[in-house]
Structure 1
């Protein structure tokens, strides 16, 4: 059975607001049950607001701040954050086909580290390459129309790299096998390799290739993405996905392991210059 599509993808600001609400409650010494009783809510509502699973209406936030005794300037800061937490993002036009809140986090990341051992990452895929992948991954008999809709969403997602206001720094490490794996046939693969060479010229994009001669390494457990944010209070997030669904790693220990692994992969990979030469050679073949 196909899982229901989500109707809410929390932004980084919404996640930050949820942490503030949780911290204020703990500082007040109140339990979630006590807060729920005072406001006439269910304990579940308080928990969902503190975890970011539900949207936090500014009116509800104000009521919670009253109970916690939060005063200005913290009160004004949090209320302003509640007003801005759900500013419309590009992904809201594609909520019918996007299956994860990941895009809302990616949109606000200042740095994206992507280890991709199997295919070119979505932010750098050509339309034909992406369409071939979406068709191959279609295990639920999705209609051609919906596949095209998902393709449109993926192409819209790529605009974060080229936007004029605070585009993220993207650092991609490709396994060498990705250069030889023909997705969509020789012409599609060749165009995709040329696309990688062009994208690598952008000042905010770094592409490295990890040669097969590197042998055993930290990335053999699978691909992952590291998201870092400009606001110091927003913790790094590591993300993986597969048949098991999407997994978000946010505990400091696990995120630290991913950071260490990514650093080691960078050291093992070819330099960006040598990587570009190898990708051009793959395109010519």
Structure 2
């Protein structure tokens, strides 16, 4: 039986993209670069297009051929190569975690920094377990109660990146004020507890929260929410867009406009200090 074609994961796509970028910067054609490795050009093309795996030792040889000398660049790309086919903790939930969602969790685990604009809900990395269960149950169309519970567990497990040893994720969330006023009929205290959670995590040095007020001026975020994910070294940013049909990733040069959008959204939102006051006032309102 022939081998199944390799499915390009987002990690492999990121690796292929950065290898292509470095090859171009070195002024080498596919034929030139492949010849230095004693390969044929189609093999390198498949690696750059994420349809063929590459061993970490081969990545090291390619980087040397491209004239890369920065040890931080070496380390970042070699680590990406080592992790390209690695399975993460989320594979335990493969029955409920769709491939596109698994890709995003892998991005979170690799990321150095994430800036998220969330116009409708509290971002997943900041959710309480109760809020996660309520919102997942509300937005899913065909999930069983057990599947909802499992997805809520996944959302909680993802939050470990905020407290990981060594270098916790730098996380900046801009949340629309409307998301602070969600009501839950089954458990009325859910939103109040969620707002307290926001105030608690805002004290962490690697987390910044801003609120977009209801009376804000126009800004690029009016076009929809997104997450801008950044990585160590030369690896390009990745942007996540979500809707009912699933997740869409914007990679490479296509992600560049979102960096400018983030700056304008931040500038339009309340200051960090005023944002915490707004959350506090809203939390008090949920007690009534």
Is TM more than 0.5 here?
Answer: yes
Deviates more, 1:159-168 or 1:195-204: 159-168
Shift of 1:210: 0.7
* CA distance in structure 2 between the partners assigned to 1:282 and 1:166 by the alignment: 32
Structure 1 residues 176 and 88, CA, compared in 2 at 3 Å: closer, same or farther?
same
Query: Which residue in the other structure is 2:248 paired with?
Result: 247
Shift of 1:107: 1.3
Query: Which residue in the other structure is 2:118 paired with?
Result: 116
Shift of 1:130: 0.6
1:18, 1:49 within 8 Å by CA — same for their partners in 2? no
Query: Which residue in the other structure is 1:127 paired with?
Result: 129
Structure 1 residues 165 and 95, CA, compared in 2 at 3 Å: closer, same or farther?
farther
With structure 2 as the length reference, what TM-score do the two structures score?
0.77
Query: Which residue in the other structure is 2:168 paired with?
Result: 167
* CA distance in structure 1 between the partners assigned to 2:219 and 2:21 by the alignment: 39
With structure 1 as the length reference, what TM-score do the two structures score?
0.78
1:113, 1:172 within 8 Å by CA — same for their partners in 2? yes
Instruction: Tell me the secondary structure at the aligned position of residue 97 of structure 2.
Output: coil
Shift of 1:85: 3.7
Post-superposition Cα deviations, 1:29-88, rounded to whole Å, max 9, x if no partner, equal 447xx99xx9799x6x865532335544569x58xx79xx959989xx699554454444
Q: Structure 2 regions of 5+ residues with no counterpart?
A: 1-5
Shift of 1:28: 5.8
Query: Which residue in the other structure is 1:50 paired with?
Result: 48
Shift of 1:240: 0.7
Q: 2:108 aligns with which of 106, 109, 112?
A: 106
Query: Which residue in the other structure is 2:222 paired with?
Result: 220
Shift of 1:108: 1.3
1:240, 1:248 within 8 Å by CA — same for their partners in 2? yes
Instruction: Tell me the secondary structure at the aligned position of residue 214 of structure 1.
Output: coil
* CA distance in structure 1 between the partners assigned to 2:66 and 2:264 by the alignment: 46
RMSD after superposition? 3.6
Query: Which residue in the other structure is 2:139 paired with?
Result: 137
1:218, 1:264 within 8 Å by CA — same for their partners in 2? yes
Query: Which residue in the other structure is 2:92 paired with?
Result: 93
Query: Which residue in the other structure is 1:262 paired with?
Result: 262
Structure 1 residues 54 and 283, CA, compared in 2 at 3 Å: closer, same or farther?
farther
1:197, 1:276 within 8 Å by CA — same for their partners in 2? yes
Structure 1 residues 159 and 30, CA, compared in 2 at 3 Å: closer, same or farther?
closer
1:226, 1:258 within 8 Å by CA — same for their partners in 2? yes
Query: Which residue in the other structure is 2:3 paired with?
Result: none
Instruction: Tell me the secondary structure at the aligned position of residue 215 of structure 2.
Output: helix
2:210, 2:275 within 8 Å by CA — same for their partners in 1? yes
Q: Structure 1 regions of 5+ residues with no counterpart?
A: 1-5
